[in-house]
Amino acid sequence: MANSTTAHAHDDHDHKPHGIKRWLYATNHKDIGTMYLVFACAMFFMGGAMALVIRAELFQPGLQFVDPGFFNSMTTMHALLMIFGAVMPAWTGLANWMVPMQVGAPDMALPRLNNFSFWLLPFAFTLLLLTLFVPGGAPAGGWTLYPPLSLQAGDSFPLTIFAIHLMGISSILGAINVVVTILNMRAPGMGLLNMPLFCWTWLITAYLLIAVMPVLAGAVTMLLTDHFFGTSFFTASGGGDPVMFQHIFWFFGHPEVYILILPAFGVVSEIIPTFARKPLFGYESMVYATASIAFLSFIVWAHHMFTVGMPLAGQLFFMLSTMLIAVPTGVKVFNWCATMWKGSISFETPMLFALAFLFLFTLGGFSGLMLAIVPADFQYHDSYFVVAHFHYVLVPGAVFAIMAGVYYWLPKWSGRMYNEKVGKLHFWLSTIGVNVLFFPQHFLGLAGMPRRIPDYSTQFADWNMVSSIGAFIFGFSQLLFVYVVWNAVRSGEKAPARPWEGAHGLEWELPTPAPYHSWDTPPPRNVITQGAMH
Amino acid sequence: MANAHTNDHPADKYYVPHESPWPIYGSATLFVFMIGLCGWLNEWYGPWIFAVGVLMLVGLFVGWFAVVIGEHQRGMYNMQVDKSFRMGMMWFIFSEVMFFAAFFGALFYARQLSVPWIGGEGVKFLNGLLLWQDYSPAWPTNGPEALGPRDDGSFETIPAFGLPAINTAILLLSGVTITIAHHALKEGNRRILNIFLAATFLLGFLFLGLQAEEYIHAYTELGLTLSTGIYGSTFFMLTGFHGMHVTLGAIMLLVIWFRTMKGHFTPQRHFGFEAVAWYWHFVDVVWLGLFVFVYWV
C-alpha cells in the first residue's frame, strides 16, 4: 500500500529496481515490510471472514448455515490464519520497516534471507488453504492439533503439518534477521540501552521465536510420523502419551503468545510518550520487565492443560509461576500510566488505540489471572471465558497495537497524513464493536457455555446474539482501516518529517517519506543521542 | 546479477546486496518439495512432484551458494557483513538445538513419566489395576501392547559399547581433524588443511556407513523398527534426524573441501569454513547426547 509513494521518493541515486521484480526479488527492508503488511492484512480479512461464519452460525441456537464439521474447520483455520498469517507477519512487517530506521542502519542485516522469509509465507498459506478443498475438508481438531483427534483428519493432515513447517522456517529466518540487525547493525554510539523499546521488545520476541518455533516443528513432525510411519509418541499402547503432545505443544505455545504481544508493548511504549509529550517512565525497568516475561514464558506452559491431569506439585508450580507474570506486566502497565501522569496529552488516532490497548489488554490480563488459579480453571477450562480472555489480549491487545503502529508511522512511510476524522471513526467503531463482541463471552463462559461448538443450549441465546452483532460491527469497521490507509497513501496531505511534535527516535530524523535505504551512512552521534531521548 | 554493485563502496558506507531471484525460487522449491511429500503420503502423484522438488532443491543450493561464494571471492562483503553471517549461523544452530530438544524432551518424558504411569505408578495406579495388569514398565519398552514387527512383541536394543562407541570415537576424531584443518588454514598451511579437511568428511561418511549398517541390523535381526513402540520411535527419530544432519554436514564439508582445493579462503577471512566447522561440532555434541541418553543409560 505504501509502495506507490516510495516509488517516487527523492533519492534517485538509490539503486532501485522497477516493476514486478522489485517485489519478487526484493532486498529492501521497506519493500519487504510492505509486502509483509499487505499479506497480513489479506490474512486478517480472510481469518475475519471465517470468524464471521462462526458468529453467524452462533447468532441463534440450532444449526443455521454450516454443518458442524465445517464449523470446526472454521474455528481451526481462523486461529491458524490469525496467529501465523495475520499477527505474526504484521509484526515482522513492522520490524522490517522500523528496526533499521530506529537503529540507524541502511537495511536489515541479511536482506536476501529477509525476502526468503517473506515469500515462504504465501506458499505456506497456499498449502494451508488448499486443505479447504481436499477430501475430508480442512483440519477441524483445533489449532492446537491435539492427538488423537488431529490424527483423524483426512487428506488435509500432511498439508497442515507441512504448512506449519514452512511458517516455522519463515519465522525462524525472520527472527534471526531481526536479532542480527539489532545486535550488529546499530549505528556507532547507540548502546543496547539507547535503543527504542520497539527494538528491545522485538529483540526478545525474536529470541523467543528462534527458541520455540523448532519445538513446534518437532511436535508436528511427531504427529506426522505417528500418523504415517507407525511411531507411538502419542499412543499409550506403544508406551507413548497423548498428553506428551500437549506438553511439547504448549512449551512452544506459551512463548508463542508472548511473541504475539511483546512487540505490542514496544509500539505502545513508543506512542504513549509521544502523545503525552513526556519521556517514557522507567525505560530500563521496561526492558527488564520484558526480559522477565520472556523468561517466565518458558516455565508456565502447563497452565493450558490443568484439567488434563498432572501431579499436584506440577499444578502448584505452574499456577504460581503463571501468577508471577503479573509482576513484570504490572510494572509495564504502571510505567505507561506514570508516563501519562501530568503529561499534556492529545488524543490522535494512534494514541486512542494505544489507550484502548492499555485498558483492554489489562482486562484480558486480569481474566488470565483468574484462569491461572487451578481450582477456578477447572470450571473455566474450554469455556467461552477462555475465548473471551485470549481474544481480549489478542484483538484489543495485539491487533490494536498493530493498528496504532500503522497510524503512528504511516506518515513516515508514505509521506502523507491519514484522515484523522475517519481514523477516529475507525477507532470508536472498533473499540465499541470489540467490547460488544467479546465482553458477553465472559458471561457465557461463566454460565457454562463450552467453546468450539456450533450449537448451544437456549439459555445462552441472548448474549450470543449480542456477541454476534458486535462481531459484525467490528468486522465491517475494519474496512474503514483499509480505506483510511489507502486514502492517505493516494491523496493524503503531505506530512512533515516529524508529524507528531512529541516524537523522539532516529526514524523521525530521516526525511519524509523515508528514503529507499534508510541510513546509507551511520547517523552522526549527536543525532543518536538527540533521537534516543527516552 | 548484471547490475551488481561493485566493491567500490566508500569504506564508511554500508553494504546492501542487490536484488536476487533466489529467495522466491527457494520458497517455490520448498513448496513443490512439500506438495510432493503430501501427495506421496496421500497417494496422489506425490513421488513425481517430490522428485521435481528435490531437483529444484539441488538447483537452489548450487545456484544461491554460487552467487554468494562469487560475491565473497570478489571481496564484496565487508567485515560487518561477515559478522552478520557469523551471528546468523550461531542463531541458526541455536534453533537446531531447540529442534533436537523437542525430541530429547519426548524421550525423557516417556522414560520418566508416561511409561511408569502406564504401568500404574503412584496416582495412576488405576492404569495398572484396570487397563494393563501384566505390564511391567521398564526401559527399553515398546509399550503395554508390545508393538513391533515380531509376533511375540519382543525386540532387542543396540548395546552402547559396540558400534555406537566406535561411532562416538569417529565423530570425536573428526572434531579433532577439523580443528587441525582450521589451525592449518589460519597458519596458511594449505596442504595440511586439504588433507585434514578430507579426513574430516571421510570420517563423516564412515560414520554414516556404520549408522546405516546399524539400522539394517536393527530392522532385519533385532526387531527394532520405527514402529517398535516408544523405544523404536524415540530411537529412530533421534538418531535419524541426527543422521540427516550428519549427511548435510558431510556434504557441506565436501563443498568446503572443493573450495579449499580451489584456493578459496584466506587465513583472516574464512566464514564459510568456520560456519561448517561450527555446524560439524554441533552434530558432534548432539551425538554425545544421543550416545549417553539413547544408547547408554
**Which structural domain, as residue segments, surrounds residue B289?**
79-296
Closest residue by Cα to residue B84 from A3, A6, A114: A114
User: Is A91 noted as a catalytic residue in this protein?
Assistant: no
What is the predicted pLDDT for the residue at B12? 52
> What is the arithmetic mean of pLDDT over B116-135?
86
Chain A residue numbers touching B53 (CB-CB < 8 A): none
pLDDT digit string, tens, across residues A480-521: 999 999 999 999 999 999 999 999 889 998 998 998 888 888
| Residue B92 contacts A where some CB pair is shorter than 8 Å | yes
| Buried/exposed code over A224-263 (b: 16+ C-beta within 10 A; e: otherwise) | bbbbbebbbbbbbbbbbbbbbbbbbbbbbbbbbbbbbbbb
User: Is A442 noted as a catalytic residue in this protein?
Assistant: no
Tell me if A141 sits within 8 A of A76, measured CB to CB.
yes
User: Is A426 noted as a catalytic residue in this protein?
Assistant: no
> What is the arithmetic mean of pLDDT over A57-77?
96
pLDDT digit string, tens, across residues A145-160: 999 999 999 899 999 9
* Residue of A170, A430, A431, A477 marked catalytic: A170
Give the integer Cα–Cα distance in Å for B143 and B136.
9
Phi, psi of A104 (to 5 degrees): 80, 35
> What is the arithmetic mean of pLDDT over B115-123?
88
pLDDT for residue A11 is more than 60: no
Chain A residue numbers touching B88 (CB-CB < 8 A): 109-110, 113, 176-177, 180
Interhelix angle for A88-103 vs A242-276, to 10°? Answer: 50
What is the predicted pLDDT for the residue at A530? 60
The closest CB to that of A25, out of B24, B100, B106, belongs to B24
Give the integer Cα–Cα distance in Å for B204 and B250.
6
What is the predicted pLDDT for the residue at A50? 98
Would the CB atoms of B16 and A180 count as touching at under 8 Å? no
User: Is A346 noted as a catalytic residue in this protein?
Assistant: no
Peptide bond connecting A499 to the previous residue in cis, omega within 30 degrees of 0: no
B240 shares its domain with B187: yes
- ipTM of this complex: 0.93
CATH number of A3-11+24-531: 1.20.210.10
pLDDT digit string, tens, across residues B171-205: 999 999 999 999 999 999 999 999 999 999 999 99
pLDDT classification of A164: cutoffs 50, 70, 90: very high
Lowest-confidence segment of A117-121, A307-311, A529-533 by average pLDDT: A529-533
What is the predicted pLDDT for the residue at A8? 37
| Residue B53 contacts A where some CB pair is shorter than 8 Å | no
Give chain B's mean pLDDT: 91
Q: Is A519 left (phi over 0), alpha (psi -120 to 50) or beta?
A: beta
Closest residue by Cα to residue A175 from A216, A215, A212, A207: A207
Share of chain A above pLDDT 70, in %: 96
Closest residue by Cα to residue A451 from A370, A391, A398: A391
pLDDT for residue A436 is more than 70: yes
pLDDT for residue A14 is more than 80: no
pLDDT classification of A1: cutoffs 50, 70, 90: very low
The closest CB to that of B227, out of A221, A231, A522, belongs to A231
What is the predicted pLDDT for the residue at B2? 34
pLDDT classification of A327: cutoffs 50, 70, 90: very high
A39: burial class by Cβ within 10 Å (0-12, 13-18, 19+)?
A: buried
pLDDT digit string, tens, across residues B100-109: 999 999 999 9
Which of B10, B42, B77 marks a domain boundary? B77
CATH code of residue B107:
1.20.120.80
The closest CB to that of A239, out of B101, B118, B122, belongs to B118
Chain A residue numbers touching B122 (CB-CB < 8 A): 311
Which of B77, B97, B120 marks a domain boundary? B77
Would the CB atoms of B110 and A241 count as touching at under 8 Å? yes
* Residue of A55, A303, A391, A426 marked catalytic: A303
What is the predicted pLDDT for the residue at B74? 86
Would the CB atoms of B34 and A127 count as touching at under 8 Å? yes
- Cβ neighbours of residue B216 under 8 Å, at least 6 residues apart? none
Q: How many H helices and E strands in chain A?
A: 19, 0
- Cβ neighbours of residue A437 under 8 Å, at least 6 residues apart? A55, A391, A467, A470, A471, A473, A474
B43 shares its domain with B148: no
Share of chain A above pLDDT 90, in %: 88
What is the predicted pLDDT for the residue at A9? 38
* Residue of A16, A277, A451, A498 marked catalytic: A451
User: Is A171 noted as a catalytic residue in this protein?
Assistant: yes
B217 shares its domain with B279: yes
Give the integer Cα–Cα distance in Å for A78 and A225.
26
The closest CB to that of A239, out of B3, B88, B143, belongs to B143
Tell me if B36 sits within 8 A of A130, measured CB to CB.
no
Give the integer Cα–Cα distance in Å for A243 and A228.
20
Disruptive mutation site among A20, A36, A99, A123 for chain B (greatest number of B CBs within 10 Å): A123
pLDDT for residue A182 is more than 90: yes
Tell me if A519 sits within 8 A of A100, measured CB to CB.
yes
pLDDT classification of B10: cutoffs 50, 70, 90: very low
Which of B47, B77, B107 marks a domain boundary? B77
For chain A, what is the largest distance between any 2 Cα atoms, rounded to a whole number of angstroms? 68
B122 shares its domain with B90: yes
Indicate the DSSP class of residue A397: I
pLDDT digit string, tens, across residues A96-131: 999 999 999 999 999 999 999 999 999 999 999 999
User: Is A329 noted as a catalytic residue in this protein?
Assistant: yes
pLDDT for residue B36 is more than 60: yes
B129 shares its domain with B273: yes
The closest CB to that of A244, out of B27, B109, B147, belongs to B109
Peptide bond connecting A106 to the previous residue in cis, omega within 30 degrees of 0: no
Give the integer Cα–Cα distance in Å for B66 and B85.
16
| Selected residue with higher pLDDT from A167 and B13 | A167
Q: What is the grid cell recorded at A455?
A: 450449537
B109 shares its domain with B140: yes
What is the predicted pLDDT for the residue at A528? 77
Give chain A's mean pLDDT: 93
User: Is A451 noted as a catalytic residue in this protein?
Assistant: yes
User: Is A232 noted as a catalytic residue in this protein?
Assistant: no
pLDDT digit string, tens, across residues A352-364: 999 999 999 999 9
Is A105 in a helix, a strand, or coil? coil
Chain B residue numbers touching A217 (CB-CB < 8 A): 99, 102
pLDDT digit string, tens, across residues A510-523: 998 998 888 888 88
Chain B residue numbers touching A176 (CB-CB < 8 A): 88, 91-92, 95
Q: What is the grid cell recorded at A482?
A: 483499509
> What is the arithmetic mean of pLDDT over A29-36?
96
User: Is A256 noted as a catalytic residue in this protein?
Assistant: yes
In the stretch 225-284 of chain B, residues with CB closer than 8 A to chain A read 225-227, 229-234, 236-237
What is the predicted pLDDT for the residue at A532? 52
Chain A residue numbers touching B21 (CB-CB < 8 A): 24-25
pTM as predicted: 0.94
Disruptive mutation site among B37, B38, B112 for chain A (greatest number of A CBs within 10 Å): B38
What is the predicted pLDDT for the residue at B14? 67
What is the predicted pLDDT for the residue at A13? 45
What residue of B is the nearest CA neighbor of A312? B123
Question: Domain locations in chain A?
Answer: 3-11+24-531
Is A16 in a helix, a strand, or coil? coil
Using alpha carbons only, what angle is made at residue B56 by residues B50 and B60, rounded to the nearest 5 degrees?
140
Residue-by-residue DSSP string for chain B: -TT---S---TTSPP-PPP-SHHHHHHHHHHHHHHHHHHHHTTSSHHHHHHHHHHHHHHHHHHHHHHHHHHHHTT---HHHHHHHHHHHHHHHHHHHHHHHHHHHHHHHIIIIIHHHHTT-GGGHHIIIII-TT----SS--TTTT-SSSTT-------TTTHHHHHHHHHHHHHHHHHHHHHHHHHT-HHHHHHHHHHHHHHHHHHHHHHHHHHHHIIIII---TTSHHHHHHHHHHHHHHHHHHHHHHHHHHHHHHHHHTT---SS--HHHHHHHHHHHHHHHHHHHHIIIIII-
Tell me the shortest Cα–Cα distance from B227 to chain A, in angstroms: 5
pLDDT for residue B169 is more than 50: yes
| Residue B3 contacts A where some CB pair is shorter than 8 Å | yes
Q: How many domains does chain B have?
A: 2
Would the CB atoms of A521 and B42 count as touching at under 8 Å? no
* Amino acid sitting at position A530: Q
What is the predicted pLDDT for the residue at A433? 98
CATH code of residue B73:
1.10.287.70
What is the predicted pLDDT for the residue at B178? 97
B179 shares its domain with B249: yes
A8: burial class by Cβ within 10 Å (0-12, 13-18, 19+)?
A: exposed
Chain A residue numbers touching B229 (CB-CB < 8 A): 232, 238-240
User: Is A304 noted as a catalytic residue in this protein?
Assistant: yes
Tell me the shortest Cα–Cα distance from A228 to chain B, in angstroms: 7
Would the CB atoms of A120 and B27 count as touching at under 8 Å? yes
pLDDT for residue A526 is more than 90: no
Peptide bond connecting A148 to the previous residue in cis, omega within 30 degrees of 0: yes
Chain A residue numbers touching B225 (CB-CB < 8 A): 230
What is the predicted pLDDT for the residue at A45? 98
Is A129 in a helix, a strand, or coil? helix
Would the CB atoms of B144 and A239 count as touching at under 8 Å? yes
Q: Is A67 left (phi over 0), alpha (psi -120 to 50) or beta?
A: beta
Chain A residue numbers touching B147 (CB-CB < 8 A): 230, 232, 237-238
Give the integer Cα–Cα distance in Å for A450 and A387.
9
Interhelix angle for A156-184 vs A111-130, to 10°? Answer: 160
* Residue of A29, A332, A391, A534 marked catalytic: A332
pLDDT classification of A18: cutoffs 50, 70, 90: confident
> Which residues, listed in sequence order, are joined to residue A494 by a DSSP beta bridge?
A416
Phi, psi of A383 (to 5 degrees): -105, 175
| Pairs across A and B, CB distance < 8 A | 228
pLDDT digit string, tens, across residues A256-292: 999 999 999 999 999 999 999 999 999 999 999 999 9
> What is the arithmetic mean of pLDDT over B139-155?
93
Give the integer Cα–Cα distance in Å for A30 and A114.
11
> What is the arithmetic mean of pLDDT over A173-199?
94
What is the predicted pLDDT for the residue at A2? 37
What residue of B is the nearest CA neighbor of A23? B19
B241 shares its domain with B122: yes
Distances (CA, A) of B63 to A23, B29, B79, B183: 20, 12, 24, 30
Tell me the shortest Cα–Cα distance from A214 to chain B, in angstroms: 5
